[in-house]
Each structure stands twice: as structure tokens, then as C-alpha cells.
Structure 1
Amino acid sequence: MSTPDVDSRIDELESKLAFQEDTINQLNTVIAEQDASIRLLQRQMALLAEKFKSVQGSQIASESEETPPPHY
């Protein structure tokens, strides 16, 4: 192999490596953002579940508190 061929192959490999490093950094940023979003959604779902449980019990009256149906 002649030196110009080796130099051009090295340049090509360096270019590909730089592109791959940039892509990895971009993907890492996206993954970190998605992780933060998922954690926030999980906290919100937990809060909604707690709120639903507390509201669910208070919305239903006991049988003694219920008025009889109109046909009685």
C-alpha cells in the first residue's frame, strides 16, 4: 500500500469515528431526557392513583344513606 492510500483510509476512519461519537452523544442526551420524562410520569401516575383511591371511597354512599328508588 502506498502512503496516500493509507492516509486517505485513516482520514476516512477518523471521520467515521467522529460521526459515531457525535451520534452516541446525541442518543445519550435523548435517553437522559426520556428517563427524566418517564420518572415524572411515574410520579404523576402514583399521585393520581392515590387521589383516585381517596376520592373513590368518598363518592359512594353506604346503603343506609341511600334514598330508596322512586318506585317504592
Structure 2
Amino acid sequence: MDTDILTMQQEIEVLQVKLAYQEDTIEQLNKIVTSQQRQLRELEKLSDNIVDKLKSLQSQESSINDGVELPPHY
């Protein structure tokens, strides 16, 4: 009977240690995911800014070329 209780206590301790490691791992992963989400938002903003600038450059270029007539080629 005493060996059964001792065995159970040891198994419970092993489970508690595993749980502690799992909690630590989950916390580390959560920090990584949070950091990556922040980076993703920043990259999305940067990408949106680049697209906006490209669109404005294209519209400026087309308005500049509107008044220019190319000479005929012989």
C-alpha cells in the first residue's frame, strides 16, 4: 500500500513538472506569435503605403504623358 501511494506521488510530481514545462513553452510561443502579429501588421502598412505611392506615381506619369504627342515613325 505504501509503495502504491509513493508511486502515485512520484507520478503526480512527474506530471506537475511536465505541466510546468508546457506552461512555459506555451507562454514563449504566445510571445512569439504576438511579436509576429505585430510585425505582420507593420509589413501590411508598409505594403499599403508602397501600393499607394505606386498608384500616385502612375497617375502622375499618365497625366504628364497626356499632353505629349509622339512623332510619327518613318
Query: Per the shorter chain, which TM-score range?
Result: 0.7 to 0.9
Picking from 45, 60, 69, the partner of 1:66 is: 69
In the TM superposition, residue 67 of structure 1 has moved relative to its aligned partner by: 2.2
Aligned match of 1:45: 47
Matched-pair identity in % = 34
Following superposition, which runs of at least 4 residues in structure 1 exceed 2 angstroms of deviation? none
Give the equivalent residue in structure 2 for 1:13.
Answer: 15
Q: 2:32 aligns with which of 30, 33, 38?
A: 30
Deviation larger for 24-33 or 1-10: 1-10
For normalisation by structure 2, the TM-score amounts to 0.84
- The alpha-carbon deviation at position 70 of structure 1 amounts to 3.5
Deviations 1:20-63 (A, max 9, x none): 1011001101100111011001110111111011000122311x
TM-score (norm: length of structure 1):
0.86
Unaligned runs of 5+ in 1: none
The one-letter amino acid of 2:31's match is T
Structure 2 runs not aligned, ≥5 long: none
Matched length: 70
Comparing 28-37 with 51-60, greater Cα deviation is found at 51-60
